[in-house]
Structure 1
Amino acid sequence: MNKRHLFGLSLGLLALSGCTSFAEPGKGGEAENYPQAAFSPVMPDQPLGPEHGLRFDWELAARHLDILILEKAEWCFPATVHQAKQNEARIARELEGGLQLDAANDLVIQRNLLKRLERQLDYVKRQETCTPPSDSNNGNSDIALAQTIYDLLNRDNQFAFNSAELNPKYVVNLSEASQLLNKHQDFKLLVTGHADAMGEEDFNQDLALNRAKQVKRYLSIFGLSSDRIHVDSVGSNDPYLAGTEPHVRLTNRRVTIELLQLDQPLMLENNHTNGGN
């Protein structure tokens, strides 16, 4: 991606009054999309606080995602772009609600996701392994399918403490996703296990990997070829939320699943993966 574009956008944003978009009240959960609205403009005599810096960071991340989409990231990595859009909407709602710490944590996650997406997009463009479909209607259908599968794979995906057993709701989700994936052979999965911050690092790595392997086991039972399922572990090194409260730890005990094209390179944190293990 041309970094000068992003730099130019950031300079332009500095000259604005802080206009941005955020969520309509009452939207949450599955309703991650939000209408166009605006933050209150920053007046010349108004003191600037941390919330204004967070809004500016949100705007920069939003423009970064816009540029990646213009460079066809949504065609090559539809599920990742879908995840980034959901993150963007969630951060906007947090800013609107005054949840500055939550917004700051999610902005770090979003920036890391966008950096990873940018690296992946640069790679496939150099390798010429991703070409947008000539039929735009068919392409939109593929994006919608990827979003549906991604949502199934990344919902109800938490684990009990020190456990690698899947909860029943998630098993149902995996069954539905497997049916769709068996009908559409163009995708593979990268299943990454996570642990909360309790325990030693080596133990958390092993526990998180076992969670990813358990997901792979169920997907294979539901008929998905093991060659299309890769597993990885980050232990407790990539928390979704910061903190040690029980609800935060539950949120962090999870798996995340990326939906990838068959010829898309795997970006691994650790060398734990192979289709078929």
Structure 2
Amino acid sequence: MSTDYQKAREDLGRRLRELRVESPHGRLTGTYLAEQLGWTQSKISKLENGRQTPTVEDLRAWADATGQHEVFQELHGRLKGFESHIRSWRRQLTAGHRPVQETWNTLVDDSSTLTVWENNAVNGMLQNADYARHVFESYAALQNSPRDAEDAVRTRMKRQEWLYRPGKRLHLLMWEGALRAQVCPPAVLAAQLDRLLGVVGMDTVHLGIVPYEAALTLPPANPFWIFDERLVIVEDWHAELWLDDRVTIALYSRVWENFNQSAVYGIDAQRVISRARQAVSI
């Protein structure tokens, strides 16, 4: 969990405690409030100490039980403010890319199904080492972070072992532009596209390509990952957004399904990849 998110949750907890202690009905004990709400004492404690995220219904009930109905909108606003778990790249990359990749390896290891949309580069789960190295070096230069591309590459390659484990499924959609982005020398890009051609048909990989000429119902915006329908990670220039509320996860699932309607698979996907491969001048 990000430091930004946890701090916001602790701040909200302190505000809840303040409302309980300063209730117009007089100072309320945690035990009394729990009884009034039909909650356990442990829930009161967790909410006040920032160890549990309240629901909208929890906040409404708290405001009503403490006799301060008018503060609900304030509490709701605070909650909405940290529904996105913001992990800034500046903070994450203070020790380089390897620790970030290790965090991702843990997330992937704990997942059975990955549902991914990629619009700007070949997805990390299918990158070869040379391609990944150039990507890491570019981002390290952008963020002025420690240069640890070799360690980061080894960690990313280790993550790909997941693809060969029984019961794992990668549902990956890539925009054709991701195949053509020259984020590396032509020879490296050509080898990367050759690897993609060989991935089509793997039993753990469901690779779809959205061709340039496909009709789209949505613009091909930011890349994102859905982990077992429990977490969405959206990548942006300044940060990753870690989103775990059901409504948002459902939204990103719908976005993925929209792109899936425009995707081609199997031999047709290989044709699009081959078209991009032939365009590479070595």
Q: Is TM more than 0.5 here? A: no
- Tell me which structure has the larger Cα radius of gyration: 2
The normalised TM-score by structure 1 is: 0.27
